[in-house]
Structure 1
Amino acid sequence: MDFSIARRIMVERQVKARGVSDPLVLEAMLQTPRHLFVEEAFQSQAYSDFPLPIGDKQTISQPYIVGLMTQALRLKGGERVLEIGTGSGYQSAILSRIASRVYTVERIPDLARRARRVLNSLGCHNVNIKVSDGTTGWAEEAPFDAIMVTAGAPSVPDEYFAQLAPDGRLVIPVGSRGGQVLKRFTCSDSGCMEEELADCRFVPLLGRHGWSEEEGKA
C-alpha cells in the first residue's frame, strides 16, 4: 500500500474538505506517517475516517478531530504546548512539527514507551513525555502557550487555567462519559472566553481532577 497517497487523500477529503484550513496543520498532517502509530494489523485502515484501537482500551482519534483540535490551538510556530493524553503519540507528532516544544502527559506507561519509540524514529526530539496523572497538568514546565486535552473531562480542572500563559488557548472535550462538547478557552488577564467547537466523544479523562477509575468503566 502506498501510504503517501493514502495520507494525501486523507488530508484533502477528511480534513481540508471539512473546514480545517490552517496551512501549518495541513502540512504537519501530510508529513506525519499515521500508519506508524497503530498496530500493524490496523495499518491498512490508518488513513480512514474513524478512530482506531491502540491498546489499553485507548484509541487514536479520527484524522478530522486531530486536525480540528490542532487548528483550534491557533499555533503560529515557536510555542510551548502541553498535551494531556499522549496515547499513540500521533497528536504529539503533529504538534511537534509546528510548536517549538511539546510536553505530553500519559498515565499508561506502556503507551508512553511505545509513543516514545515511534516519535524518536521520526526525529520528533522536541517532545517531552511524562508518565503521570494528566488532570494535574505539568506545573514544573508551565506556563504553556496552548494546552490540548485528548480525553473527555466532566469539567475543566483549574490546574489547566493556572498553567496557561497570558493569551493562552485551552482545547478540551467536556461533558459526560457518553459524549462531550469540544471547547476552546482563550484566557487573558481579564478572564477566559469560552467557545463551543463541535460535538465529540473521547475516552474518559481519568485522574484526581477527572473521572475516577470506577466512573471511567461505567
Structure 2
Amino acid sequence: MSDYAVARRNMVESQLRTNRIDDPGIIEAMLTIPRELFVPPAFKSVAYTDEDLAFGDGRRLIEPLALAKLLQSAAIRPDQTVLVIGCDTGYAAAVAGRLGASVQLLTERHDDTTEIDRRLRDLGIDNVSVETGRLKEGLPAKAPFDVILLAGSVRAIPSELTQQLKEGGRLACVVQDDRAGRVTIATRVNGTIGKVTPFDAWLPELVTFRPAPSFVF
C-alpha cells in the first residue's frame, strides 16, 4: 500500500469516522479518490491534513471533514443533479461525482477548466462537467438542481442560488460570522426555504458572495 493510500485511510478513520461521518458512499469515495492529485506538487505531502490548504491567488482545497459534513448533510442520491460552486481544484466535484450524481462544477477561472477536466478523466470520472461563469449567478441555464454545494462559507444563504433549486432541492453550505460557523442545509419546499444546521464547521469565505457594504451617514 502506498504512503498516499495509508494517508487516505488515516484521514477517513481519524478525521471522518470519529466525527459522525458514516455514509458508506462518502467513506468509499474519500477512500479511493487520490486527494494528492488535486493539489500543486509542493502540497502533496500535506494533502490529507485536517485543515484547509491555500495555494495562492485565492485557490484553496477545503479540509476533508468539512467537505464530508456538507456532503453527508446534503444526502446526494445517484439519480440527482448537483451544482458545485467554489471548488478550485475539482476535488469536491469528484467526490460528489463518485456518489453517482450528475455534477456541474462552476468556476470563474477559465485556465482551471482544462486541468480539472484532465484530472477527472484520468480518474475515470465522466459524470462531472466543468462550466465557467460568475459564481454568484449560479447556472440558471442548467437549473433546477437537486443539490447545490458551496465549497466555502457565506454570511447568508444566497437567494440567487436557492431560486435554482428543484422542489425539495437542498443548498448545502457553511454560514458563518467572525465567531462561528454552521453547516446549513436550505431546502426548497412549496416555494419557501427552510433551514437546518446539523454540524458546526468553519471554512474560508467565498468572498464573491459577500454582501455589498452599506452606506453609513
Shared fold (TM-score, shorter chain, > 0.5): yes
User: Per-residue deviation at 1:55?
Assistant: 3.5
CA contact (8 A) 2:69 2:183 kept: no
Counterpart of 1:14 in structure 2 is 15
Structure 1 Cα separation of the partners of residues 211 and 118 of structure 2? 29
Specify whether residues 177 and 57 from structure 1 end up closer, same or farther in structure 2 by C-alpha distance, changes over 3 A only. Answer: farther
Matched, 1:211 2:210: yes
User: Per-residue deviation at 1:177?
Assistant: 6.7
Counterpart of 2:77 in structure 1 is 76
User: Per-residue deviation at 1:8?
Assistant: 1.1
Secondary structure at the residue paired with 2:99?
coil
Structure 1 Cα separation of the partners of residues 206 and 197 of structure 2? 19
CA contact (8 A) 1:135 1:205 kept: no
Secondary structure at the residue paired with 1:151?
strand
Matching of residues 90-169 of structure 1 within 5 Å: 90-169=91-170
Structure 2 Cα separation of the partners of residues 110 and 172 of structure 1? 25
Specify whether residues 60 and 188 from structure 1 end up closer, same or farther in structure 2 by C-alpha distance, changes over 3 A only. Answer: same
User: Per-residue deviation at 1:168?
Assistant: 0.9
Structure 2 Cα separation of the partners of residues 123 and 213 of structure 1? 41
Matched, 1:48 2:57: no
CA contact (8 A) 1:103 1:128 kept: yes
The residue identity in structure 2 corresponding to 1:198 is F
CA contact (8 A) 1:178 1:201 kept: no
User: Per-residue deviation at 1:165?
Assistant: 1.0
The residue identity in structure 2 corresponding to 1:108 is R
Count of matched residue positions in the alignment of Structure 1 and Structure 2: 212
Q: TM-score, normalised by structure 2?
A: 0.88
Structure 1 Cα separation of the partners of residues 69 and 42 of structure 2? 27
The residue identity in structure 2 corresponding to 1:17 is T
Q: TM-score, normalised by structure 1?
A: 0.88
Secondary structure at the residue paired with 1:141?
coil
CA contact (8 A) 2:7 2:48 kept: yes
Residues 151-175 of structure 1: per-residue CA shift (max 9 Å, x gap): 2223222221111111111111223
CA contact (8 A) 1:28 1:97 kept: yes
The residue identity in structure 2 corresponding to 1:87 is D
User: Per-residue deviation at 1:12?
Assistant: 1.1
User: Per-residue deviation at 1:178?
Assistant: 7.4
The residue identity in structure 1 corresponding to 2:176 is G
Secondary structure at the residue paired with 1:152?
strand
User: Per-residue deviation at 1:95?
Assistant: 0.3
Matched, 1:197 2:198: yes
The residue identity in structure 2 corresponding to 1:36 is L
CA contact (8 A) 2:117 2:130 kept: yes
Structure 2 Cα separation of the partners of residues 151 and 45 of structure 1? 20
* Unaligned residue ranges in structure 2 (runs of 5+): none
CA contact (8 A) 1:105 1:129 kept: yes
Counterpart of 1:24 in structure 2 is 25
Percent identity between the aligned chains?
30
Structure 2 Cα separation of the partners of residues 108 and 133 of structure 1? 9
Specify whether residues 129 and 109 from structure 1 end up closer, same or farther in structure 2 by C-alpha distance, changes over 3 A only. Answer: same
Structure 1 Cα separation of the partners of residues 203 and 179 of structure 2? 8
Counterpart of 2:34 in structure 1 is 33
CA contact (8 A) 1:104 1:128 kept: yes
* Unaligned residue ranges in structure 1 (runs of 5+): none
CA contact (8 A) 1:34 1:90 kept: yes
Between 132-141 and 197-206, the greater mean CA deviation after superposition: 197-206
